[in-house]
Amino acid sequence: MSSLRLRSRQWIVNEDGDIIIGEGRQQILENIEKTGSINKTAKIMKMSYKGVWSKIKATEDYLKLTIVATNKRRGSQLTKEGKELLEKYKTLKKKCVEADDKIFRILFK
């Protein structure tokens, strides 16, 4: 059993079960931060521009925050709130995986 591993995923959802942030939106935000472009992010992720933009807007609308700022000259970048959301989600994910691994080791040692 030593070769067994636990895989878990975390999504933050609203009261209707709609995703606010998860691994996909994490990747969107990280790619925007890297490329400075929603269009390039869409291409990297093999998504449509509209698909990427819709996910961003759904998160922004629920949180009532702007997480991605767009500018015709400078492109797109995460706002302070967008960076905070991304960092909080990454921290949550890391802590959840650590807790899950601990429980897994106890149950399946």
Residue 27 CA: distances (Å) to CA of 2, 22, 67, 90 = 31, 9, 14, 11
Write the DSSP string, 60-98: HHHHTS--EEEETTTEEEE-HHHHHHHHHHHHHHHHHHH
pLDDT at 5: 87
- How do residues 57-76 score in pLDDT, each as one tens digit? 999 999 999 999 999 899 99
| pLDDT for 109 | 81
Top pLDDT among 7 and 82 is at: 82
Token pair 């890297």 is found at 34
Domains of the chain and any CATH numbers: 12-107 (1.10.10.10)
Residue 13 CB coordination number (10 Å): 12
The amino acid present at 43, given as its one-letter code, is: K
Q: Are strands 68-71 and 19-21 parallel, antiparallel or unpaired?
A: unpaired
